[in-house]
Each structure stands twice: as structure tokens, then as C-alpha cells.
Chain A
Amino acid sequence: MGLFDKFKNLVKKKEEILEEKDTLLTYEKGLSKTREDFVSKLNLLGIKYTKVNEEYFEELENILIMADIGVNTVFSFLERLRERVKKENITDTSYLNEVIVDELFIIYVNNESLSDKIHLAKEGPTVILMVGVNGVGKTTTIAKLSHKYILEGKKVFLIAGDTFRAGAVKQLEDWANKTGAMFYGQENADPSGVIFEGLEKARENQADIIFIDTAGRLQNKVNLMKELEKMNRVIERIVPGAPHETLLVIDATTGQNGILQAKSFQEITNITGIVLTKLDGTAKGGIVLAIKESVGIPVKFIGLGEKMEDLQAFDIESYIYGLFKGMIE
């Protein structure tokens, strides 16, 4: 079980440097609710069933589906698992637990070299566009990212492209003031026009990183998706090669619809990564595994609260480590 061993070693290594690296601690803190639940269930499963039988699989299916991992992903995963159990003649449930982690890891990694880094422009400003359905936390995420980059010494500029929702411009402006970012916004205006003006202003002010907030749009609203296309054209015209990153914000409580969200947004604009928000609740955000598997978009950041510090770069090892810690020990 090469991959798993590698992974396990990684986990061990992480444990050694745990004290220096608070990334992991934050992950653990934020995900503790999620992990406790998931792991205790898997552990219970191991205690309840000493042998691998039909009931074991049924309960495993329950656990995975309850984590929102995605119905099709779960079913094909279980099929593979059954095959492996048959082929390798696995009867021991504690050994099977390891196989489960292994297989889940494979789903996400899928032999790709994962880039969870933010792609910065070689020259001139980096433009990052935020998109997503309503209420997922786009504006708050921009605030968090803005805070992060300002701490790194970058000049950050925020553009309020959500001219539709009441109070959205003011919300971003408040955050700009709090984080110390520059800001441009105009209420009740055409978003593409605002972006145009904003980008010009950001360039005049020599911003290093420009975040563009957009209105929440349900992915089946044709006119709103077209509006997004137009915004992209405007951005490209002013800053060639931009947007350098288009981040899709997904709420961790989202169910199967998350896959449709990723697919539809991907069709309109080149999504370069996902920000998984609200992981500080009880939701497991398992849908990102299905999204990675079926649409191929990696997660770049996770949101773990409402404060501007509550953001972490996504790291699949820490994520799975967080989910399965109790199980491996």
C-alpha cells in the first residue's frame, strides 16, 4: 500500500513539526467538530463490525453520504472497495479503515501534481476574480485574502463588482477600511463598468493584487452567467492575461448541487480554484472530493470563521489528516 504508507509518513512528519506549524493546529481546531464526528463513526464501525460484511458496507455508505462526498463518487468508491476486499480477501475492519483513507486520498489526488498555490502575475497587478452562488461568503473571503496579502506587504485593491445585492458595496468598503486595502465601488451601476473604472484606478495606484467581488448568481440564471462572461472580457481588455485566478467560493454545507455549481461556472469562466467556506460548523464539505473527481478543480483555501484571520491555504494532507486522525492512530 505504497500511497498510504507515504501518506502515513507524511502524517507522522507533520506530527513532529506540529508545534512550529500552526497551520495544522488551525485546521484541527476548525475541523475538530467535523473530524470528531466522522472519525468516531468510522471507529464505531470498526468496533461494531469485526468482519467485513454487507451491513458494514451499508453503514459505510451512510457515513460517506452523510459527509456529502457525492452520491456517484460514493457509489463508485464503494464498488472499488468491494472489489479490493474480494481480491485481497480483506476481512479485518481495522485494516479496511486504512484502505478507505488510501482510496479517498487517491480520488482527490488522482495522479495529478496539485497546484494549490495562487498564480501571481509576472509583471503588473495580479487580478483575482471571486464568483459563486448567493450567500456562500465571497465578500468575507475577499476580506480574509486581503488581510493575508497586506500582512505579506502587498498593496491590495478591492473592487465591488456586486452592484446588485442591497448593502454589498458598503460591506466590501467596510472590509477595505478594516484591512487597509484600497477600494473602488459604485452602487446601482453596471458591474462591468464598475470593474472597468476600478481596474483603471487600481493601476493608477500601482496595486499588486486586485480582488474583484461579484454578485452571487445561481448557476442556472442565463443572463447573470452572461454578465460574468462580459466582466471577463472587460478585465482581459484592461489587464491582458487577467484574471490570473478565478476562485469559486463554495459553502461547506452545500450538497450535491456543488457539483453542478462547479460545472456551470467552469463552462463560463476558467475556474482556477475553490475556496471552501464555513468549515467551522458541522458540515464536512465532502463535496469537494466529488468536484475534484468530476470537474478537476482543486481547493485552494478554506474558511474557518467570520474573522479576517480565519483563512487557511488548503492542504489535502492536512485536510484528510484532520478527518482521519483518530482512525489511523
Chain B
Amino acid sequence: MFEYMGDRLSNAIKNIRGMGKITEENINEAMREIRMALLEADVNYQVVKEFISNVKEKALGMEVSKSLKPDELFIKIVKDELITLLGGEMVSLETHKNPTILMLVGLQGSGKTTTAGKLSNYLRKKEAKHPLLVACDIYRPAAIDQLKEVGNSLNIPVFEEGKKNPIEIISHALEYAKENKNDFIIIDTAGRLHIDELLMNELKEIEEVYHPHEVLLVIDAMMGQDAINVITGFHEALNLTGCILTKLDGNTKGGVALSVRHLTNVPIKFVGDSEKMDGLSPFYPERMAERILDMGDIMGIAEKVEDILSEEDAKNQAKKMMNGKYDLEDFLTNLKQIKKLGPLENILKLLPQARKMGLNNISVDPKQMAHVEAIILSMTPYERRHPEVLKATRKQRIAKGSGRSVEEVNRLLNQFEEMKKMMKMMKNGNMKLPF
């Protein structure tokens, strides 16, 4: 998201760099670029206006010190303003009630049911909860089946009673939860328009009867300027406690993230960033601001990796790499771990300066990764540890075994050698890591 913002900004501040002072004139172009970038990202028009005038005011009032150059100072102001817009501090989910009742609401097609599944998975994994999914979308054909399938795939219970009145369903669901010791209730509701009074009243009624601890609005990150009408519409009818931004793994710039908090004071609590059931992450304003400015989200990567790799494993791996003892067996292990991280494109995007290095547009074909894996799997464990023994006949056997060509086997081996060389260079300090 916001892929161009970092670029536009770094171009625009080039001419601030050499200046001794920030003046209205030398930031004018930068301000124009930022304005365009924000509008192209669907940030609310009013928010853009305020943001621009705030940054301008702060930048002009700043004294340029020796330690901080004008361009650095300018970026810092922009970053701080972004963090403020995004809400400053991270706001976490209420999880301490027993049971905690959470209701998901939103327009049609925003991703409520998928999010319900992801959320239940997250709560079980990170908060050691025993969630119960409650199917209250009694309108859309097959919506209940969808939630049931999601629950089945995750092995999380789903409570449904067909197309009964939601108030009744929830009442029975709460009884069921008590008997089965489910301490977190996630209510999936039908998609509806914020101007549909009848359906909005249904939600209000649920709120009045059960007082959910969390009422989360699920919004599509691709939403345009109408987002503000939707958010205020839902917020006026219900007491929203937060938002979940979905479909952030598309190439949307998701400017709605910048508008939500500022215009309604409703915090964003999670973002959905992949199609997989673990594609839900807590929302950190500072990290998001750094990503917008192309400063990278190293913390985000670290957390994703941590989920999959223990610290000790990671240390061992690094040691092997540095000593040149990294072999194809290790590579295979890493390959499998990388696959667990989800689409590689998403990880590459989080790297600082990803755009400058051209990493944001890389498309990693999962098939290609599967081919590499097939080739390595067609080797014997001995061959994986000692790739130097691979000569023509062995290569032919591997090619046949993996269904790839000998050229591809050669290419892989060459690339692996190159990689090892690079690792050695890193160790000798001849190459700096990009971060």
C-alpha cells in the first residue's frame, strides 16, 4: 500500500536537501506531491487538506539544527503527522471478559465471514482462547455454509440455527458457549448498507440486548471516498469499538486507514493481509507510517518469522550461513519455512526501500518455488549436503525425478553457489546488508 508515497516524497525533497532553512517555496513541490499521493490513495479529501496544512505549519516553524538536515527534518514531521493520523498508539482487543462477546458488522462483501475465521484462529493461537463462531447472516444464500466451512477447516466450533431471528440464535449460542467452555464469542452478521434502516435496527437490537464488548466494523481497504459515509453511518447507529481493514494484500493504497481514525476516532485494530487463515495482524500506527514512507516494517517481518522459526533455529541457520556450511538441505528447510510465511511478495514489500530496490513489483510464482523444491527433493540427502558430487548422470536422474530439465537443475545449482558466495561476502564485511 502507499507504494508511490515514498517515491514521490523522496523525489520531492531532493531540492530541500541542500537548503539551510525550510521555506514555503522549497517545500511547495513536496507538499504538492504528498497531496497527490494521498488523494490517489483514497485518503479523505478533508483529511488530506488538514494533513497538508499541519505539515506545512510545523515544517515552517521548525528550526534547522546541525544534527538534522532539512530533508530529514521534513520527513520526520511527515512521519509524526502520519502516526498521529493513524491514531498514535496501538489499541488492542478486549479479551478479558468471560465470555467476551464480539460482533462483526459491515457492508456486503467487505470480508466479515473470512475475518471471523481469521480472528478466531488468531485468538486461539495468540490469546489461548476457545472461540465460538456464531452464524447470524440469515439473509445471503449459503452464508451459513460458508462460516461452517471456515470453522471446519480451522477446527473451531460454529453455532448455527438456520434462518432464525439473530437475537434468538445468540441467546442459544451463549448457552452453548457456557456448556462448552467457549470464552470468546464471535458473531458474524449479514452485510448491510448503512442507510438500510431496517437492517441497521437489527444490529442495534443485538447491541441493546447483549452489549457486545467489541463491535468491529469490517472495511474493504479498496474503498474510495464513500468510506466516510459508511463509517459514520455505522458509528452513529452502533457504538463501534474498532475497525478491521481487509484485502490489504491487494495493490490498493488503502488510504482509508488514514481517514478512519481521524474522522471518527474509531481505532483500527487489525488488518487482513493474505487469503490464508493466518492472514490477520494487529495494527500498529507507527509501523504503518514507516511502511507508507518506505522505511520498511522490519518489526512486522520479525514477528512473522518468529511465528514460524524458533530463535535458536534462526541463530543456528545464521551461523551456518556465515561459516559457508549452508547446504541444500538447509536451503530446503528454509524454503519450506518461507512457504509458511505466505506469499513472498508480501514479505519483500515490508523491507525498507523495497520500492527503490524494485522489490515491490516482484512477483514470485509459487510454481517456480515448487519446481525448486521438486529438484532438491529428487536429490539424495548426501547429494544435498555435497552438491559438488553432482555430475552429468546424477543431474539427469534428478531432472527426470523432478520432471524438470537438466538446465534447470544446473541453474539452481549455480544460483545456490552464488548465494553461498554472497553469504561469505557478508561475513567478511564486504557487503552491507540493506538494513
Q: How far is the CA of A62 from the CA of B45 in the complex (A)?
A: 7
Min CB gap B354→A, angstroms: 14
- Are A278 and B108 neighbours in the complex by a CB distance under 8 Å? yes
CB distance from A237 to the nearest CB of B (A): 22
Q: Does A23 lie at the interface of the complex (its beta carbon under 8 Å from any beta carbon of B)? A: no
Contact pattern, B 357-388, Cβ under 8 Å of A = 1, otherwise 0:
00000011111000000000000000000000
Do B109 and A136 touch (CB < 8 A)? yes
> What is the CA–CA distance of A207 and B365 in the complex, to the nearest angstrom?
37
Q: CB distance A66 to B225 under 8 Å? A: yes
> Are A281 and B195 in touch, CB under 8 angstroms?
yes
| Given contacts A71-B40, A135-B108, A166-B149, A175 and B222 within 8 Å (CB-CB) | no
With A171-B146, A223-B367, A281-B194 known as contacts, the answer to whether A251 contacts B225 (CB < 8 A) is no
A255 on interface, CB distance cutoff 8 Å:
yes
**Chain B residues, CB < 8 A from A221:** 343
Q: A253: CB under 8 A from chain B? A: yes
Please pick, from B108, B193, B230, B250, the residue contacting A220 in the complex, using a CB distance under 8 A: B250
Contacts of A220 in B (CB 8 A): 249-251, 345, 363
Residues of A within 8 A of B110 (CB): 135
Known: A71-B39, A166-B149, A223-B365. Contact between A135 and B230, CB under 8 A? no
Q: Is the CB of B225 within 8 A of A255?
A: yes
Please report which residues of chain B, range 230-266, place their CB below 8 angstroms from some CB of chain A when the two chains form the complex: 230, 233, 247, 249-253, 255-256
B253 and A257 contact, CB distance less than 8 A = yes
Q: B233 to chain A: which residues have CB within 8 Å?
A: 282
Q: Does B36 interact with chain A (Cβ within 8 Å)?
A: yes
**Chain A 264-282 interface mask (CB, 8 Å, partner B; 1/0):** 0000000000000010111
Q: Is the CB of A222 within 8 A of B247?
A: no
Q: Are B111 and A135 in contact (CB under 8 A)?
A: yes
* B142 touching A170, Cβ below 8 Å: yes
Closest residue of chain A to B151 (Cβ to Cβ) is A166
Instruction: Give the complex CA separation of A282 and B193 in angstroms.
Output: 9
The CA-CA distance from A283 to B220 in the complex, in Å, is 14
* Complexed CA–CA distance, A231 and B379 (Å): 34
Contact yes or no, B220 A166, CB < 8 A: no
B428 in contact (CB, < 8 A): no
A253 touches B226 (CB 8 A): yes
The 18 listed contacts between A and B (C-beta, < 8 Å) are A66-B225, A134-B111, A135-B110, A165-B146, A167-B113, A167-B149, A171-B143, A251-B220, A253-B226, A253-B230, A254-B224, A255-B256, A256-B253, A257-B222, A257-B253, A258-B224, A278-B193, A283-B229
- Which of A174, A255, A282 gathers most chain B CB within 10 Å? A255
- A174–B141 Cα distance when bound, in Å, is 6
Q: Please measure, in the bound complex, the distance between the C-alpha atom of A133 and the C-alpha atom of B185, giving whole angstroms.
A: 29
How far apart are the CA atoms of A282 and B141 in the complex, in Å? 24
Chain A: residues with Cβ within 8 Å of the partner, total of 46
Q: How far is the CA of A163 from the CA of B225 in the complex (A)?
A: 32
Q: Tell me which residues across on chain B come within 8 A of A253, comparing CB atoms.
A: 107, 220, 223-224, 226-227, 230
Which residue of the partner chain, among A67, A168, A260, A278, contacts B225 with CB atoms under 8 Å?
A67
Contact pattern, B 392-413, Cβ under 8 Å of A = 1, otherwise 0:
0000000000000000000000
**Binary per-residue interface labels of chain A (146-173) against chain B in the complex, 1 for a CB within 8 Å, 0 otherwise:** 0000000000000000000111101101
| Also in contact, A254 and B225, with CB within 8 A (given A167-B143, A218-B250) | no
Question: Which of A137, A175, A218, A260 sits near B109, CB closer than 8 Å?
Answer: A137
A167-B113, A256-B42, A257-B250 are known; give 12 further A-B pairs, CB within 8 A.
A65-B225, A135-B108, A135-B110, A168-B146, A170-B141, A222-B365, A223-B367, A251-B220, A253-B223, A257-B222, A281-B195, A284-B226
Contact of A133 among B42, B45, B195, B250 (CB under 8 A): B250
User: How far does the alpha carbon of A249 sit from the alpha carbon of B73 in the complex, in Å?
Assistant: 45
Chain A contacts for B153, CB-based, 8 A: 166
- Contact between A219 and B223 (Cβ–Cβ < 8 Å)? no
Distance of A284 Cα from B153 Cα, bound (Å): 38
| CB of B225 to closest CB in A, whole Å | 5
CB of B150 within 8 A of chain A? yes
The 4 closest A-B pairs by CB, nearest first: A255-B224, A167-B146, A135-B109, A166-B149
A-facing residues in B1-56 (Cβ within 8 Å): 36, 39-42, 45
Q: How far is the CA of A229 from the CA of B252 in the complex (A)?
A: 23
Contacts of B366 in A (CB 8 A): 223
Give every chain A residue within 8 A of B226 (Cβ-Cβ): 68, 252-253, 281-284
Q: Which of A237-263 contact B (CB under 8 A)?
A: 251-258, 260
B202 lies within 8 A of chain A by Cβ: no
Q: In the complex, are the beta carbons of A282 and B224 less than 8 A apart?
A: no
* B145 and A257 within 8 A (CB): no
Which chain B residue shows the least CB distance to A66?
B225
Contacts of A175 in B (CB 8 A): 141
Determine if B126 is an interface residue (Cβ-Cβ < 8 Å): no
B107 A281 Cβ-Cβ under 8 A? yes
- Nearest-Cβ distance from residue B221 to partner chain A, whole angstroms: 8
Asked if A287 is at the interface (CB within 8 A of a chain B CB), the reply is yes
Question: Is A306 an interface position by the 8 A CB rule?
Answer: yes
A82 interface hit (Cβ, 8 Å): no
B193 → A minimal CB distance (Å)? 5
Q: Is B140 an interface residue (CB 8 A)?
A: yes
Rounded to whole angstroms, the CA-CA distance of A219 and B249 in the bound complex is 10
Known: A168-B146, A306-B108. A135 touches B220 (CB 8 A): yes
Asked if B176 is at the interface (CB within 8 A of a chain A CB), the reply is no
Contact with A along B254-285 (1 / 0, CB 8 A): 01100000000000000000000000000000
Q: Is A33 an interface residue (CB 8 A)?
A: yes
Closest CB-CB distance, B111 to chain A, in whole Å?
Answer: 6
Kindly name the residue among A134, A168, A219 whose own CB sees the greatest number of chain B CB atoms within 10 A.
A134
Query: Which partner residue on chain B sits nearest A224 by CB separation?
Result: B275
CA A52 to CA B106, docked complex, whole Å: 40
Flag if A71 contacts B146 (CB, 8 Å).
no
* Given the contacts A222-B365, A255-B222, A280 and B141 also touching, CB distance less than 8 Å: no
Q: Which residues of A contact B149 (CB under 8 A)?
A: 166-167
In the complex, chain A residues whose CB is within 8 Å of the CB of B210: none
- The chain B residue sitting closest to A218, CB to CB, is B250
Partner of B193, one of A67, A255, A280: A280
Interface bits A70-110 vs B (CB < 8 Å: 1, else 0)? 01100000000000000000000000000000000000000
Contact of A257 among B139, B249, B251, B345 (CB under 8 A): B251
Closest to B111 in A: A135
Smallest Cβ distance from B341 to chain A, in angstroms? Answer: 16
Bound-state Cα–Cα, A55 to B224, Å: 24
CB proximity of A69 to chain B, nearest CB, Å: 9
Contacts of B223 in A (CB 8 A): 253-255
Closest chain A residue to B110 by CB distance?
A: A135
A282 B229 Cβ-Cβ under 8 A = yes
On whether the beta carbons of A171 and B141 are closer than 8 Å, the reply is yes
1/0 per residue, CB under 8 A from B, across A11-45: the answer is 00000000000000000000001000000000000
